[in-house]
Amino acid sequence: MDQTEQRHLRLISSILPASQHGRLLPVWRAAGWLTGTLPAIFGAAAVFRTIDAVESFVDGHYAEQLDQLCQRSHCLPLYCLLGGCRTDKLMHRDDARGRLSAPGWAGRMWTGLVIAGSRLGVSLTRRY
């Protein structure tokens, strides 16, 4: 987990009550490590494609969360925090995207797999 991710986790954990902390965090750390390590085997383009896919997914996820939070005035601190985290994610995504050419079939398949895994992760987190 890079420094930005660690900072985001610390900030969000400091605002949310312990009852709302993710119980599956160790699983997500392992999945994140694997999602970073596998593309590294195939080179920089695979790493940047992964970053683009993950950050694009997270951007959409944060947008959904922000839409829900903007209707709750008591959640303003969390709204502001997530907005800042989302900005970091977009910068990270745009940096990776700027280093990429159009994806071939393998890149499209990998991106689809990363996004599907991210969706599964969110779904499981909501259940547990």
Q: Give a yes or no: residue 18 inside a domain.
A: no
The answer to whether position 109 is within a domain reads yes
What residues in the chain have per-residue pLDDT under 70?
A: 1
Using H for helix, E for strand and C for coil, what is the string for the chain?
CCHHHHHHHHHHHHHCCHHHCCCCHHHHHHHHHHHHHHHHHHCHHHHHHHHHHHHHHHHHHHHHHHHHHCCCHHHHHHHHHHHHHHHHHHHHHHHHHCCCCCCCHHHHHHHHHHHHHHHHHHHHHHHC
- Please state the pTM of the whole predicted model: 0.85
pLDDT tens digits, one per residue of 49-84: 999 999 999 999 999 999 998 888 788 888 999 999
Among 11, 95, 14, 12, CA closest to 52: 95
Residue that the structure tokens 């160790």 belong to: 26
Residue 26 lies in a domain: no
Please check whether residue 67 lies inside any domain of the structure: yes
The residue written with tokens 């909501």 in the block is 126
- Supply the pLDDT for residue 1: 63
- The domain total for the chain is 1
Examine residue 83 and state whether it is found in any structural domain, yes or no. Answer: yes
Structural domain of 52: 35-121
Task: Let me know if residue 95 belongs to a domain.
Answer: yes
Residue 9 within any structural domain of the chain: no
